[in-house]
Amino acid sequence: MKWIDIISISNDSIKNNRLRTSLTMAIIAVGIAALISILTVIDVLKWNIYNNFSGMGANTFTIINSKSKNTKHSEDVQYKDAITLQEAKLFKERYEFPAIVSISCINDNGATAVYAKEKTNPNIMLMSIDDAYLKVSSNNIIFGRNFSINEISGNENICILGNAVAKRLFNHLSTSILNEIQINNKIYKVVGILESKGASIINRMDNTILIPLSNGIKNEGAQSKSFVMTVLVDRSSNMSYAIDEAESVMRSINKIPVGKKNNFSIHKFDELATLLITNIKLITLSASMIGFITLLGAAIGLMNIMLISVVERTREIGLLKSLGANRKAILYQMLFESIMISIKGGAYGIFFGIVLGNILSYILKSPFIIPWIWIGVGVIICILVGLVAGVIPAVRASKLNPIESLRYE
């Protein structure tokens, strides 16, 4: 038998058993789609994380309060719920390393903004900032201006809107400047609009409203919150020295004795990115197991269909052998048929997997991602599934006695 004959007979067999082969292809498609969609989502998340952290800069770190309690060393650790404004200001005064230090505070994660008849959902992040915050956080203003030093300390009711907030309240961003809006039932004048950062799992700046630090302390309860210091170092090569200096200053401010652990945490943005990627990889491993289990079930289902096909086509196989087809030709035909069913199901799975995976890409406004490596892996998996599922039926078919097969009813 020539390969053209093997392909033709395999196609005819698949067409004659459309229901069974369709169900098997559907199971394979679900397994492959699960794998490809999960891995596409992971690639989208990785791109999103790296893109956002690269925008923040490799030469930036933050100092936050430490709440996690290590019971093993609890007697050696001092715990505090918040970094106070006084401590944050002392740090900024005493930190002599060549760097820019910004003080900020999250006042509310569920604020509401109103302008005329337009109103946001109660999911706006309200932040109090100083004049250095936009620079250290790599945020740019596209309309209006930043807060001045006098406005930061003068308790003025002014604000800078995140891009998504501005678009929700105003038809044209350029006309929003100097308009008055209500934030949590208080009147604020808009002085700036931030450049869009895009939707992100780690960056909410588009859905944020910034107010001066003094205003947040007086009107929005920032005094009782924990303050964050963000430090922008001149060169990334100086990061380790800058962090050591920051740790020394914070320990001095908090009067932590030698040998005692810090009651604050220092985080580099690239370390946060690595931590997030590591956690994502663990999720990937768990989720991928679901896809492989589905594929295992598909392989078993495909094997059963091929075994049934061998029984149903006993006379056909006997006829082919009587016309000169050898064992190898029958073996190749059954294997090819099994692989063809698996690859067809896999093709549908790859297509739907990419589409499903890129739904998150659309939501996060990331580029459309085609995971070529995983597509290649998916094709190889389909071929392996077809081979494994088709071996036993193919061997059984190739061993059929042509005379007995022709007598089979």
pLDDT tops 70 at residue 10: no
Task: Give the whole-number percent of the chain exceeding pLDDT 90.
Answer: 30
What is the distance between the alpha carbons of residues 88 and 82, in angstroms, rounded to a whole number?
10
In this predicted model, what pLDDT tens digit does every residue of 35-55 receive, in sequence order? 888 888 888 877 777 666 655
In this predicted model, what pLDDT tens digit does every residue of 301-324 receive, in sequence order? 777 777 777 776 667 767 776 777
Burial of 407 (0-12, 13-18, 19+ CB in 10 A): exposed
Record the tokens describing residue 160, joined without a space.
């800078």
Whole-number Cα distances in Å, 290 to 293, 321, 347, 389: 5, 42, 19, 19
The residue among 164, 140, 145 whose CA lies nearest residue 56 is 140
- Total-model pTM: 0.63
Task: Give the whole-number percent of the chain exceeding pLDDT 70.
Answer: 83
pLDDT tops 70 at residue 69: no
DSSP letters spanning 126-165:
EEEE-TTHHHHTT--EEEE-PPPHHHHHTT--EEEE-HHH
Whole-number Cα distances in Å, 330 to 318, 322, 396: 10, 12, 10
What is the distance between the alpha carbons of residues 393 and 311, in angstroms, rounded to a whole number?
9
Average pLDDT over residues 195-201: 72
Beta-carbon contacts of residue 290 (< 8 Å; ≥ 6 apart): 34
**SS3 for 101?**
strand
Place of tokens 């505070």: 105
Place of tokens 């892996």: 377
Degrees to nearest 5, angle at CA 22 with 289 and 295: 10
Average pLDDT over residues 102-116: 93
pLDDT tops 70 at residue 203: no
What is the distance between the alpha carbons of residues 165 and 112, in angstroms, rounded to a whole number?
10
DSSP letters spanning 185-221:
TEEEEEEEEEPP----SS--GGGEEEEEHHHHHHHS-
In this predicted model, what pLDDT tens digit does every residue of 340-357 receive, in sequence order? 888 888 899 899 989 988
Total residue length of the chain: 409
Under DSSP, the state recorded for 266 is: E
**Axis-axis angle for helices 327-363, 314-322 (nearest 10):** 130
The residue among 6, 3, 15, 38 whose CA lies nearest residue 344 is 15
In this predicted model, what pLDDT tens digit does every residue of 237-290 receive, in sequence order? 888 899 999 999 999 998 888 888 888 888 886 666 666 777 777 777 777 777
The residue among 32, 104, 25 whose CA lies nearest residue 64 is 104
What is the distance between the alpha carbons of residues 46 and 201, in angstroms, rounded to a whole number?
11
Beta-carbon contacts of residue 294 (< 8 Å; ≥ 6 apart): 27, 30, 31, 34
